[in-house]
Amino acid sequence: MTAPVVTIDGPSGSGKGTTARLTAAMLGFHLLDSGAIYRILGLAALDRGVDLQDAHALCALAAGLELAFPYDQHTTQIELDGRNIAGSLRNQDVADAASQVAVHPEVREALMSLQRSQVKAPGLVGDGRDLGTVVFPDATLKIFLDASAAVRADRRYLELIESGQTVERSAILRDLEIRDIRDRTRTVAPLVAADDAYVIDSSEKTPADVLAVVRDLCRAKGLMQ
């Protein structure tokens, strides 16, 4: 590996996105939001009427997409067919479509090199489901963030309300549990902590608490002073 990689995997609402952003800023590393890749493909499939069960058609769609992700910018501007889709990516139906397209091994394989190509000096912090287990098995530091389903649903609910969406908390919890089961039980690259990952339960922790733990781990790995 040319530059150090820190992977932060975990379920939806565990705080991995926030932790990845803060960690990347702390280390001065690039950032890879791998979930955005699956969401973009899910959104493109919904937009173009591609069957979410049809792995072959999804791979063709992935190959034809203009996948230029400004990962390491703080305001993510992602265009699909000339339309800014950054706002739509966080919608529930897109999250659900992302988790359906992510089930197919061929689709995961098709998106692998795109993720690996993001490793650049001085280093990369990536968040996702299988970054420590499959995409970057030799990562310098692997973290697995978890939290109870109730806490994760509350976080997702607040995030969606704050972004102006009208949602029911009970529907969020139900969607999150369905997505969890799909992510944890799929045959290829299921959501699971790598053997050498540090597991952090964020249920009772603020983002600053989690970052303090990550900071100690980064120091222990020689990633910072």
Residues contributing to the site for ligand C5P (CB under 6 A): 12, 34-35, 38-39, 95, 98-99, 102, 128-131, 179, 183
Q: Which is nearer to ligand C5P, 38 or 157 (CB)?
A: 38
CA 199, CA 213: separation in Å to the nearest integer?
11
Which positions ≥6 away from 77 have C-beta within 8 Å?
70, 84, 86
Minimum distance, C-beta of residue 24 to ligand C5P, in the bound complex (Å): 15
Nearer to ligand C5P among residue 95 and residue 218 (C-beta): 95
Q: How far is the CB of 222 from ligand C5P (least distance, A)?
A: 26
Helix axis angle, 207-220 relative to 16-27, nearest 10°?
A: 50
Q: Which is nearer to ligand C5P, 197 or 216 (CB)?
A: 197
Residue with the closest Cβ to ligand C5P? 35
Dihedral, CA of residue 97, residue 103, residue 106 and residue 107, to nearest 10: 30
Residue 100, token pair as written in the block: 């359906």
Cβ distance to ligand C5P smaller for residue 101 or 223: 101
What the block records as the tokens of 39 is 């969401």
Closest CA to 152 of 131, 174, 167: 174
Nearest distance in Å: CB 131, ligand C5P = 6
Minimum Å gap between C-beta 181 and ligand C5P is 11
